[in-house]
Amino acid sequence: MARIPQITSKADLPADKQTIFDAITQSRGRIAGPFGILLNSPEVASRIAHLGHYLRFDSVLPADIRELAILTTARQMDSQYEWTAHVPLALQAGVRQEAIDAVGKRTAPAGLTPDEAMVVRFGQELWQQHKVSDTTFQTVLARFGKQGITELTTLMGYYSMVACVLNTFAVPLDPNVQPLLPQ
């Protein structure tokens, strides 16, 4: 059980904020994960959902790169919910099982393709040193350009914020979902 109530019905919101519930549901299909918690502050939920929709679905980055970046962030933040939610999405986007396993077991970037290693290294440096080296920065910039590196950084920042919400409020996995993040 989460530490504070999750909003699961639009009736739980003031009438003037119910359109936010509808917009999030329309964008994501349902209220799940961090959004049940974030709706305790409807304006925050709305603004976060808007940014998240762009980064996850409309970014210039390829879907496999986005999902690998999300998993890298989930692993660095030890977010069981985020990891478990995104492993199937990563596989669907074309991320190799070997890359997922390497990130999960913290053996990456060993055994990864050059693009995979670059994304994982970027995330590891960002989360472990709170910055990225000039070499890593230039490699990512050369591969994805100014917009791409901006969106990669923002995507990882966004999912670290999501992980903070999930971890802080102890948002549980659905009862029928098995945790996938290695301990």
Residue 120 pLDDT = 98
Q: Where are the domains of the chain?
A: 10-58, 63-168
- Does the pLDDT at position 2 exceed 90? no
What gap in Å lies between CA 53 and CA 20, rounded to an integer?
14
C-alpha pair distances (Å), 106 with each of 30, 72, 78, 109, 121: 32, 9, 11, 8, 11
Q: How many CB atoms lie within 10 A of CB 14?
A: 8
Q: How many helices (H) and strands (E) does the chain have?
A: 8, 0
Q: What pLDDT digit, counting tens, does each position of 61-106 carry?
A: 999 999 999 999 999 999 999 999 999 999 999 999 999 999 999 9
- pTM for the predicted model, two decimal places: 0.96
Q: What pLDDT digit, counting tens, does each position of 114-169 carry?
A: 999 999 999 999 999 999 999 999 999 999 999 999 999 999 999 999 999 999 99
Residue 92: partners with Cβ closer than 8 Å, 6 or more residues away: none
Residue 26: partners with Cβ closer than 8 Å, 6 or more residues away: none
User: What tokens does 88 get?
Assistant: 């199937």
Residue 183 pLDDT = 82
Q: What is the CATH number of domain 63-168?
A: 1.20.1290.10
